[in-house]
Amino acid sequence: MELEVRHLRALCAIADTGSLHKAARLLGVSQPSLTTQLRRIEHALGAELFARERTGCRPTPLGHAVLSRARPLVAQMTLLVTETRAAAARADGARLRIGSTASRVLAGWLRRLRDRLPGTDITLHMDVSAGALLRALAAGQLDVAFVHEVEGFPLRVPEGLERRVLVEREPQFISMARDHPAAAAPVVDLTDLAGDRWMVDPTVDGEWDGLRRVLGAAGIDPPVLHGDYHTAASLIVAGEVVAPCQPTSGPRDDMAIRPLRGDPLAVRLLLYSRPGTGTGTGCTDATYAEAAYAELTAAYREAALRTSAYRQWLLRHGSPLAQAA
């Protein structure tokens, strides 16, 4: 006989109740049937697992060892069944699985989507790699993916995905210490930062390549540190490095954020989806992709206009996003 989960569940019930009679009632079987099952289990393992006493059943030392391994397995199987049933129930309802690279607009986007699509199960998956998100989208693990494409370094997009352009060319600003000499000007020249150490996250698709291209074109070759942008923030405040940043980055008392003259660093903001995005009752093809794009546009405009430097940039360039300014 091979042990099955039902056998382990029976052992746990006997140990928990301390009685074959009570365990049988708990499991919904007869006591003779449970007694026979216990004998078969012990025969299969070649040892007695419970000592039968007048007051009930007590695990033997070997029984305790078996129970210590059986309980986690029973608990995991119970959890598996519960989560699978919950997922099956959710499958009958609406669902939208969002993937995104880092962005200042995510909170506003999610808030707007939840208001627009009440009752929809909306989940968010973050990744520094746009390519990884697009592969997950193509594999059916996501419904939409909001990504950025560094200028000059196009993304490898799997076949069959639909693309919507949020911003054709978003300039990348520069963050520096509040007392940096270049922070005195409203717009910064790259040459003003030639003597600084720069910091870039090489795990972000195209980020390091794009910065290296721009620095080379400007004829400067500053030292560059590789690291995540969370770490970069503390180094920027300390005056150790400067770094590119999103123009929607809000003002900070301890940091200056300035546009670069001529906007040499830029990305394109894109929303990808699969045909027929969105699952569940009442969904039609592209319904959720259109909703996601509309609310993303609104959230982006809201974030852009909240940031003075970027709002002024949008006005100067006649961007449609500035129409609400």
CA distances from 310 to 65, 259, 294, 322 (A): 65, 8, 21, 10
pLDDT at position 324: 54
pLDDT at position 325: 46
pLDDT at position 83: 66
pLDDT at position 230: 80
- Residue among 262, 292, 287 nearest 275 (CA): 287
Q: What is the Cα–Cα distance from 280 to 143, expressed in whole angstroms?
A: 12
pLDDT at position 277: 53
Give Cβ neighbours of residue 306 (< 8 Å, ≥ 6 apart): 248, 250
pLDDT at position 93: 64
Q: Which residues of the chain have pLDDT under 50?
A: 278-285, 325
Q: What is the pTM of this model?
A: 0.69
pLDDT at position 250: 76
pLDDT at position 253: 86
